[in-house]
Amino acid sequence: MTQVVEYVKDMMDIASTYRSQGKTIGLVPTMGALHDGHLKMMKQSIEENDVTAVSIFVNPLQFGPNEDFDNYPRLFASDLEKLQQIGVDYVFHPTVEEMYPRELGMTITVGHLAQVLEGKKRPGHFDGVVTVVNKLFNIIQPTNAYFGKKDAQQLAIIEKMVEEFNHAVHIVPIDIVREVDGLAKSSRNIYLTDEERKEAVHLSKSLELAQQLYDQGERDSDVLINEITQYLQKHVSGEIVEVAIYSYPELEEQVTISGQIFISLAVKFSQARLIDNIII
């Protein structure tokens, strides 16, 4: 039976008790509206730790003024059912007032890793992400924390934060979970119309095209970006917000590709902005 914990002090006390017993704690931070990508992380945490805690908290600090904070799907009853089915031990589900009882007197600012890609399009977004993740790490002090590679920029930033702030937590990256047709699972997919849902499969197909060109020896970023863009223009009605190639995890723009890279794209449909990526 998954225990619901709503208060910071209660969650701290529970986690502290397990740590004092030498037990390992896995944490999966989420904003709810759980899908198979989340569940994959949770199942791995259950396998690898004595205790697994999942946080469900829609964090207002990571939403901009014109973003979908108020409309973000909140499906706690069905989420809790999923957690119970797979055997999660605790779900930390605080209110905004519990997490931020008063206006923050200090902030964390992410450096150059947030100046590109999603961070450039959503100023302040990653400052909000690292603030809430820092709080969660301090409240629970997990042994392992699980993050999806679909949000690869976020993953790189969290790993850097752990390194620079000396958090005693091991970050476990989890591969993207996709629908049968290749669409990356996302809580925002529910906003797609039927026609957009059919088109959205082409995000992953455009990345497969880039992988093929790379495998054939193409190392010019502009060539890959142009091929992806032209493919998407033919196959989706949404606005192509960005196609970019960066080194990973340094997130430095690549002109001529060398080393590990991250090809990222974002497409804005009528009610949903979808991202996808591939790390090569």
Collapsed DSSP state (helix, strand, coil) of residue 92: strand
To the question of whether residue 31 is assigned a binding role by annotation, the answer is yes
Q: Is 185 annotated as a binding residue?
A: yes
- Residue 177, annotated as binding a ligand: yes
Q: 79: annotated binding-site residue?
A: no
Please check if 32 is assigned to a binding site: yes
Q: Is 175 annotated as a binding residue?
A: no
- The length of the chain is 280
Is 151 marked within a binding site? Answer: yes
User: Is 23 assigned to a binding site?
Assistant: no
**Is 38 labeled as ligand-binding?**
yes
| Active-site position among 38, 93, 125, 202 | 38
Closest-CA residue to 188 (of 88, 267, 277, 77): 267
Strand 273-279 relative to strand 144-148, pairing? unpaired
**For residue 103, how many other CB atoms are within 10 A of its CB?**
5
The encoded tokens of residue 159 equal 């790993």
188 is in an annotated binding site: yes
Residue 120 assigned to a binding site: no
Packed helices 36-48 and 76-86: angle between N→C axes, nearest 10 degrees: 40
The annotation status of 149 as a binding-site residue, yes or no, is yes
Residue 154 marked ligand-binding: yes
Beta strands in the chain (DSSP E): 3-5, 25-30, 51-56, 90-92, 144-148, 170-174, 239-247, 261-268, 273-279
Q: What is the CA radius of gyration of the chain?
A: 19
Whether residue 38 lies in the annotated active site: yes
Query: What distance, in Å, lies between the first and last C-alpha atoms of the chain?
Result: 40
Question: Residue 34 annotated as binding?
Answer: yes
Q: How far apart are CA 111 and CA 94, in angstroms?
A: 28
Give the CA distances from residue 68 to residues 73, 74, 148, 188, in Å, rounded to whole numbers and listed in that order.
9, 12, 21, 10
Binding residue ranges for (R)-pantoate: 62, 154
Active site residues: 38
